[in-house]
Each structure stands twice: as C-alpha cells, then as structure tokens.
C-alpha cells in the first residue's frame, strides 16, 4: 500500500500588454520583456491503511521563480519602466489524509507549510516594498489547512461541509507614502453544500439534481489584500440535468 511519486515541471507567464506597450508620462512599456519563468519539483509518499479506508500522503515541493517583471519608478523619462529583474523561491511540505469510516462518508484533510523568500529584490530598496531581500513573498500564508466532510444520505441526498484556514501572511499597505510592510491576520471560513436527486437516472428519461452551495457561511469579515475586504456570505442554487 506504499507509493512513491516525483515530478518536475516548468511554467511561464507572459508580460501583459500594459507591461509591453504602455505609453504614458508615468509608464512606458518594454517590448523586449521575457516571460516570467518557474521551475519546480516535488517528491512524495502515499500510504494506504485499514484495507484502503485510510490514505495518508506527504509531499515536499520546491519552486524557483526568475525573470519576475518589476516596475521601476526611477527610470529616465521616455525609458521603459518594466524589466525582468526579480527572483524568488517557494518551498514547503503538504500533508493530506483521506478517511472513509463507513460507506458513503468521506473525511479529507490537508495542511501546507509554505516558506517563501525573495532572492533578488530587483529595483526595490525600501523596507515597505513588495520585494524585500530575504523577506517572504507577500500574500502567501506560511500555514494553511482544509478539512472536508461529505456524506450520502438516504441514497438521494448528498451533503458536504468544508473548513478552510489561511494563516497570517505578509502584505504591503500602499495607502501611505512611502508604503509600509504589514501583515494580514489569519482567518477561518466555512463552506457547505447539498444536493437532492429529484429524478433518478432511468432508461428513456432524464435525471435531475437540485444543488445548493454556501461560501463563507458565517459571513466572516477578512481582507485578501490590505484595504480590500474578502467576499462575504454567498449562496448559490442551481440544478444539473442529463440524459
């Protein structure tokens, strides 16, 4: 019941049209920008226990980002403001578990410990910048976790409950001048969903399932970015139909 896995990958993000071709008194694009690039690898182990009813897994990952595009407010008039200068690293451990105590019930949990670091701040030089040499990347929580429980009831009703935790994360408050480095507090949000089979699949007729989903069920107030409130309680109702 023991599995080992490993992967290696690369990725890129093209410059935006603004970064390439902006032409204003305060912003000049750079058509010669290279894509932002990343290289990553991960290794992990997965163990099945209790006749397959419990699965535990652990992964270690490492990501390197280079050619990050940065705005230079001190560029000479008429010169491009954007250049590929910054570099960063992200690495960490992810732990997951999947438990099926009885038929039609699944409990899943995950935890991530993330460590990020700015390796080259590029044009940034102040303590209140987004890129500070040796400091963590902004808006990436060091600790995050998720717990989900799903059940099938009376063979027609499905229900789920999810709890998400985002830990404290660094950010920059750009409202004062100069900007100041700050932190966003941790937050816990709760999601829930349910579905009801109104018409079950049968030969010659369609099937119909009604769905209901709620995000941030307790309407928890939090900020995803300094000064910008995260989405409050949201409820969605719908249906799925098929033949």
When the pLDDT of each residue in the chain is averaged and rounded to a whole number, the result is 94
Q: Is the pLDDT of residue 127 over 90?
A: no
Q: E strand or H helix at 92, and its extent?
A: strand 82-99
Considering the entire predicted model, what is its pTM?
0.87
User: How many other C-beta atoms lie within 10 A of the C-beta of residue 68?
Assistant: 21
Q: Average the pLDDT over 81-86 and give the result.
A: 94
User: Do 203 and 117 contact (CB within 8 A), yes or no?
Assistant: no
Q: Is the pLDDT of residue 106 over 90?
A: yes
Alpha-carbon distance of 92 to 116, in angstroms, equals 8
């Amino acid at each position: 019941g023991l599995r080992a896995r490993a992967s290696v990958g690369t990725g890129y993000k093209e410059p935006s049209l603004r970064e390439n071709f902006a032409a204003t008194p305060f912003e000049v694009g750079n058509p010669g920008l290279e894509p932002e690039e990343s290289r990553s690898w991960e290794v992990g182990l997965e163990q099945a226990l209790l006749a397959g009813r419990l699965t535990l897994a652990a992964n270690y990952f490492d990501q390197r980002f280079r050619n990050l595009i940065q705005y230079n407010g001190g560029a000479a008039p008429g010169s491009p403001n954007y250049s590929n200068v910054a570099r960063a690293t992200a690495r960490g451990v992810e732990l997951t578990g999947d438990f099926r105590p009885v038929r039609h019930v699944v409990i899943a949990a995950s935890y991530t410990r993330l460590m990020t670091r700015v390796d080259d701040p590029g044009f940034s030089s102040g303590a209140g910048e987004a890129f500070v040499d040796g400091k963590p990347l902004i808006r990436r929580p060091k600790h995050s976790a998720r717990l989900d429980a799903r059940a099938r009831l009376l063979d027609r009703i499905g229900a789920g409950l999810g709890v998400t935790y985002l830990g404290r994360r660094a950010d920059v408050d750009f409202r004062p001048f100069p900007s100041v480095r700050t932190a966003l507090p941790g937050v816990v949000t709760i999601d829930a969903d349910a579905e009801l089979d109104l018409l079950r699949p049968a030969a010659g007729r369609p099937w119909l399932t009604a769905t209901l989903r709620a995000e941030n069920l307790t309407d928890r107030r939090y900020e995803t970015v300094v000064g910008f409130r995260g989405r409050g309680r949201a409820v969605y109702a719908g249906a799925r139909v098929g033949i």
